[in-house]
Amino acid sequence: MTFRTYLPEQLDPVQTGALLTGGVGPRPIALASTCSPEGLRNLAPFSFFNAFGAHPPMVAFAPNRRARDGTVKHTYLNAVATREFVIAAVSYAMAEQMNLASAEFPEGVDEFVKAGFTPLPAQRVRPALVAESPFQLECRLDQVLELGTGPGSGLMLVGEVVAFHVREDCVSLHPGLLDLVGRHGGAFYCRASGAALFELPKPAGLPIGYDALPARLRASAILTGQDLGQLAQVTELPDPSQAVARPGDPGDGPGLERAIQLALRSGDLAEAWRLVGVGVRLG
């Protein structure tokens, strides 16, 4: 397997940004609501965003300097001046309006109006909530981290969450109800529900790990890394002598490995390991 290598010092900020946003994804989207010291509203989406602690609850997003000319954004200026902001999660139902709010309107233009969002009063900060968002965070600015200088450099705003707001029909925070969208590079987004949604429970106990799998499985040309990762989640290696062969079990190696793969894809780890045991006994 070969890779193409890019060195940051050989790239301009636009090229570096394209690599970061294209390869680091999908990213959650912070629809950041701020206001100027005079009370003028501003609303803009940012996908350099995440949560970073629970005690106290801390989030951060980065309204970075523009890559083309190094100028700063209204969101940054407002948040630093007032030391307050609201983060509204973006659901699929809001995606087109969020995209409208991303346009670089002149200073003083209210993106709530331009994008058709409904402002609601927050409880503990001045910037407005977004009525259409299913999950929102009122934040007070804790610190500003300047990550470099010049065009494309990072301006990270770290905020302490002083109030959470969850829409009544989403209080379970199930991703199918929140129906959030994530950001990729360019014009690409994804939807965190429907066919794109899958569960991946954390391994229970201490798994045996990939390295403890039989060598013949690790050398398989059929079983993928995903397949082997599932098999490696058991807490002890099953005893192949306990595997009971059944009528219809494939007799050859490739056929048995495909049957193992099919069992894994259907979520039946016990059946997959039974077939592994049958294969070991068949030799």
Q: For residue 26, with 0-12 CB atoms within 10 Å meaning exposed, 13-18 middle and 19 or more buried, which class applies? A: middle
- Here the tokens at position 22 are 């294209």
Q: How much of the chain exceeds pLDDT 70, in percent?
A: 99
Domains of the chain: 8-196 (2.30.110.10), 210-282 (no CATH)
User: Quick check: 176 and 197 in contact, CB under 8 A?
Assistant: yes
The more confidently predicted of residues 115 and 278 is 115
Tell me, what's the pLDDT at 67? 87
Q: Which residue has the higher pLDDT, 252 or 131?
A: 131
- 55-67 residue pLDDT tens: 999 999 999 999 8
How many C-beta atoms lie closer than 10 Å to residue 4's C-beta?
4
Question: What's the average model confidence in pLDDT over 3-17?
Answer: 93
| Position 68 pLDDT exceeds 90 | no
pLDDT band at 283 (very low <50, low <70, confident <90, very high): low
Q: Compute the mean pLDDT over every residue in the chain, rounded to the nearest whole number.
A: 93
Whole-prediction pTM: 0.85
Question: Percent of the chain beyond pLDDT 90?
Answer: 76
| 281 has pLDDT over 70 | no
